Amino acid sequence: MADTIVIEGGKPLRGRIEVRGAKNLATKAMVAALLGDTPSLLQDVPDISDVTIVTRMLNAYGVAVSSPAEGELLLDPVNVARTHFDTIDALAGSSRVPILFCGPLLHRLGEALIPDLGGCRIGDRPIDFHMDALRAFGAIVDKSYEGIRITAPNGLHGANIELPFPSVGATEQVLLTAVRAQGVTELKNAAIEPEIMDLIAVLQKMGAIIWTEANRTIFIEGVDQLSGYTHRAISDRNEAASWAAAALVTQGDIFVGGAKQQDLLTFLNVFRKVGGAFEVHEDGIRFWHPGGPLKPVQVETDVHPGFMTDWQQPLIVALTQAEGVSIVHETVYENRFGFTDALHQMGADIVVHKDGLESVTRRVPRRKLEQAAVITGPTPLHGAEVEVPDLRGGFSYLIAALAADGVSRVTNLGPIARGYEHFVEKLEALGADFTLEA
Ligand code: EPU
């Protein structure tokens, strides 16, 4: 894949693109396949590098992964076998998903190894909730010079767990472990993102017994045996929101095939408040800039059903064109505004407050680690040379460059390919003016 894209800005993006299965479900459903004693079929799998990493990890553990048709993965876990620290360290690469192998591997092999975890560099990304949950199930966590080795000499039993924060990954860890643990698990303060509900659907197809209550509580009754599933992944709402922002920023008109209103309700409210137009269709959502000035907003990122942290980066590019002062509070990650430096370089007026800002109109309670970005617009954007820092920040650079006057060089495209399927082809289909460099 090319490492650099040279973009001639100023041309609206127009046309239709498709989003497929969500990165944050597909990779987890692939891990769930380890729990079955027959093969699983996952459909609508996006062609992204995080899926490649999880495929290689599964291969290392003896899972045969093949693609019977475009966008489909057949995952056969019949010959699951142990592997070594060196192998998984080399494979885990830039993904956070490998930590979710723990529960399934403990059930299948009695041992799990945790590699040096990657993922986007958006602040300290601890795994304490994961380790505490595994210990509550009866696992023993040993740290050695090689990494973390987890064993379950006496098997795993149901547990009462309350997460300190509704972490997506830790909720998935509990689900993937509790389904085959002995007895009932009660998980309080769980994350309830649509991708988690879809993972619950996958596990239920496999034979799991899981029910949820309205107050972020999930119950899981362990079963002795799970079989494979056939499942079509929920569509990628983060990718859909990114293309919606691209339409607004470039004054364009994009039909995002596969986008689902239900999973985007909170995003759509903000999109409308900023001045974007959208139309919900059976097979997707059309997003466009209806003309006239954009309006400033105040947004706080939050766990579902709040405004997702992955939506703020492309939104901020649109807010550089709104008339007035917008404030975005990042309350989920402790360092997710690093990407704004390059937007500043392109002409944006963004001031980051590292300890957050007080505000009387907030919905989300203040968190210790939060920051705030104050965006004053409208400021014309001009071309620059910028290096992609992470997945969502990287996409926001692409759309800033597409809206800017003049030429931009965006380097280090790799992190964007972690989660945006065929983004170069999609830019081409939408009429963007660019060339690629190796
Ligand atoms: N946290 C802890 N301890 C833990 C786990 C999490 O303190 O053991 C904290 C994190 O540091 C963070 C907060 O809890 O401050 C939320 O983290 P969470 O566990 O919810 O995030 P994650 O599971 O690591 C997933 C997505 C992210 C997405 C977040 C929030 C995947 C592979 N990643 O991360 O996606 O931003 O949930 O919804 O599913 C992306 O797609 O670009 C991306 C980063």
Structure tokens of 9? 């800005």
Q: Is the pLDDT of residue 115 over 90?
A: no
Q: Is 98 in the pocket of ligand 1 (CB under 6 A)?
A: no
Q: Is 316 in the pocket of ligand 1 (CB under 6 A)?
A: no
Amino acid at the residue 325: V
DSSP E strands in 228-370: the ranges are 230-232, 253-257, 277-281, 284-288, 298-300, 324-330, 349-353
Tokens 């407050």 found at: 353
- At 65, is the secondary structure helix, strand, or coil? strand
pLDDT of residue 370: 86
Give residue 288 CA to ligand 1 midpoint distance, Å.
30
pLDDT of residue 116: 61
Helices (H) and strands (E) in the chain, counts: 14, 23
Q: Is 96 in the pocket of ligand 1 (CB under 6 A)?
A: yes
Which stretch of DSSP H or E encloses residue 206?
helix 194-206
pLDDT band at 123 (very low <50, low <70, confident <90, very high): low
Q: Is the pLDDT of residue 223 over 60?
A: yes
Query: Taken in order 255, 50, 119, 6, is the CA torsion positive or negative?
Result: negative
Residue 324 β-bridge partners: 377
Question: For 174-212, how does the pLDDT look when each residue is reduced to its tens digit (9 = 90+)?
Answer: 999 999 999 999 999 999 999 999 999 999 999 999 999
| Strand 217-221 to 184-188 pairing | antiparallel
From 27, 125, 176, 370, the mutation candidate for ligand 1 (largest count of ligand atoms within 8 A of CB) is 125
Q: Is 129 in the pocket of ligand 1 (CB under 6 A)?
A: yes
Cα separation, 273 vs 299, in Å, equals 11
Q: What is the dihedral of CA 57, 49, 369, 274, to 10 degrees?
A: -150
Give me the mean pLDDT over the 119-123 stretch.
Answer: 53
Question: For 355-367, how does the pLDDT look when each residue is reduced to its tens digit (9 = 90+)?
Answer: 888 876 777 777 7
- For 124, other C-beta atoms within 10 Å of its C-beta total 9
Give me the mean pLDDT over the 98-114 stretch.
Answer: 93
- To the query of whether residue 102 is one of the catalytic residues in this protein, the response is no
Question: For 203-222, how does the pLDDT look when each residue is reduced to its tens digit (9 = 90+)?
Answer: 999 999 999 998 999 999 99
Of all atoms in ligand 1, which is nearest to the CA of residue 168?
20
| Strand 111-114 to 147-151 pairing | antiparallel
From the list 297, 285, 275, 273, the residue with the least C-alpha distance to 237 is 285
Structure tokens of 93? 């690469």
Tokens 């942290």 found at: 309
Of all atoms in ligand 1, which is nearest to the CA of residue 303?
38
Tokens 């975890």 found at: 117
Q: Is 120 in the pocket of ligand 1 (CB under 6 A)?
A: yes
pLDDT of residue 262: 97
pLDDT averaged over the chain? 94
Which stretch of DSSP H or E encloses residue 259?
none
Size of the chain, expressed as the number of residues it contains: 438
Q: Is 130 in the pocket of ligand 1 (CB under 6 A)?
A: yes
Q: Is 327 in the pocket of ligand 1 (CB under 6 A)?
A: no
Cβ atoms of 370 and 343 within 8 Å: the answer is no
Catalytic residue among 120, 190, 343, 399: 120
According to DSSP, residue 182 is labeled B
From the list 305, 211, 300, the residue with the least C-alpha distance to 262 is 305
- Find the helix packing angle between 128-136 and 168-178, rounded to 10°: 20
245: left (phi over 0), alpha (psi -120 to 50) or beta: alpha
Q: Is the pLDDT of residue 250 over 90?
A: yes
Question: For 333-349, how does the pLDDT look when each residue is reduced to its tens digit (9 = 90+)?
Answer: 988 999 999 999 999 99
The whole-model pTM stands at: 0.96
Give me the mean pLDDT over the 124-137 stretch.
Answer: 89
pLDDT of residue 258: 98
Query: Taken in order 278, 198, 213, 127, is the CA torsion positive or negative?
Result: negative
Amino acid at the residue 119: G
Structure tokens of 59? 């291969």
DSSP E strands in 270-377: the ranges are 277-281, 284-288, 298-300, 324-330, 349-353, 371-377
Which stretch of DSSP H or E encloses residue 199?
helix 194-206
From the list 247, 202, 173, 266, the residue with the least C-alpha distance to 73 is 202
- Find the helix packing angle between 237-249 and 391-403, rounded to 10°: 20
pLDDT of residue 119: 53
From 23, 24, 216, the mutation candidate for ligand 1 (largest count of ligand atoms within 8 A of CB) is 24
Question: For 294-326, how does the pLDDT look when each residue is reduced to its tens digit (9 = 90+)?
Answer: 999 999 999 999 999 999 999 999 999 999 999
Give residue 413 CA to ligand 1 midpoint distance, Å.
22
Amino acid at the residue 318: A
